[in-house]
């Protein structure tokens, strides 16, 4: 894998592995893994899932989350007086779908609305990165919608997670 400028990250304790693009300032390294940007709502979901994973780890349990819990958590990011509630609900559904596509959520067999949070999420984003994002989101939710901006409040703004997720893909 190193010949392809890829690093395999294995966490035996969590029983997960993923590949990460090798970054070099000296060499022109070809980029083999795709980068995935996250919207404001998708990033808010990622923070929620990471928090659930941390809580479950502390209790020695698997991190399981229900669709309605995710929807309820994300509802605080809808701006007051939103005239297009259906659009916001679609953004929430799309955020959950993207988390599934990125293998951050796996469906639990026998349940269409309950998911297990992938332990890989803990390895992809450090606790410090998550804390920084949580502080930013807390500050944004405490501002009036007009101060945050319409496209951010509606979930159209791209979150700056590219540096954290460059070339990392769950296996």
pLDDT at 162 over 50: no
pLDDT at 30: 67
The span from the CA of 7 to the CA of 3, in Å, is 10
CATH code for the domain of 127: 1.10.10
29 against 81, higher pLDDT: 81
Q: Out of 65-79, 84-98, 102-116, 131-145, pick the least confident.
A: 131-145
The reply to whether 1 falls in a domain is no
What the block records as the tokens of 48 is 């929620």
How confident is the model over 28-33, as a mean pLDDT? 67
pLDDT at 117: 94
Model pLDDT for residues 63-100, shown as the tens digit of each residue: 999 999 999 999 888 887 888 889 999 999 999 999 99
The reply to whether 104 falls in a domain is yes
Q: Is 10 helix (H, G, I), strand (E, B) or coil?
A: strand
The reply to whether 13 falls in a domain is no
pLDDT at 48: 92
Number of domains in the chain: 1
Where would I find the beta strands (DSSP E) of 59-108?
Answer: 64-66, 105-107
22 against 49, higher pLDDT: 49
The reply to whether 47 falls in a domain is yes
Contacts of 30 (CB under 8 A, 6+ apart): 5
The reply to whether 168 falls in a domain is no
The reply to whether 170 falls in a domain is no
Asked if 6 contacts 26 with a C-beta cutoff of 8 angstroms, the reply is: no
The span from the CA of 81 to the CA of 83, in Å, is 6
Domain, as residue range, for 58: 39-159
The span from the CA of 21 to the CA of 169, in Å, is 9
The span from the CA of 105 to the CA of 114, in Å, is 9
How confident is the model over 125-146, as a mean pLDDT? 72
Angle at 170 between CA 133 and CA 68, to 5 degrees: 60
The reply to whether 91 falls in a domain is yes
The reply to whether 135 falls in a domain is yes
pLDDT at 12 over 60: yes
DSSP assignment letter at 130: H
């Amino acid at each position: 894998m190193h010949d392809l400028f890829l690093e395999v990250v294995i966490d035996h304790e969590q029983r997960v592995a993923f590949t990460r693009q090798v970054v070099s300032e000296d060499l022109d390294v070809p980029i083999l893994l795709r980068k995935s940007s996250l919207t404001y709502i998708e990033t808010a979901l990622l923070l929620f899932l990471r928090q659930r994973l941390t809580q479950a780890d502390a209790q020695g349990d698997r991190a399981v989350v229900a669709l309605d819990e995710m929807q309820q958590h994300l509802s605080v990011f809808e701006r007051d007086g939103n005239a297009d509630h259906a659009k916001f609900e679609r953004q929430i559904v799309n955020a959950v779908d993207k988390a599934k596509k990125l293998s951050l959520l796996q469906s639990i067999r026998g349940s269409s609305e309950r998911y297990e949070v992938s332990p890989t999420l803990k390895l992809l984003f450090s606790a410090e990165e998550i804390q920084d994002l949580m502080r930013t989101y807390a500050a944004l939710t405490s501002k009036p919608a007009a101060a945050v901006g319409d496209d951010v409040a509606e979930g159209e703004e791209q979150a700056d997670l590219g540096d954290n997720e460059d070339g990392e893909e769950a296996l």
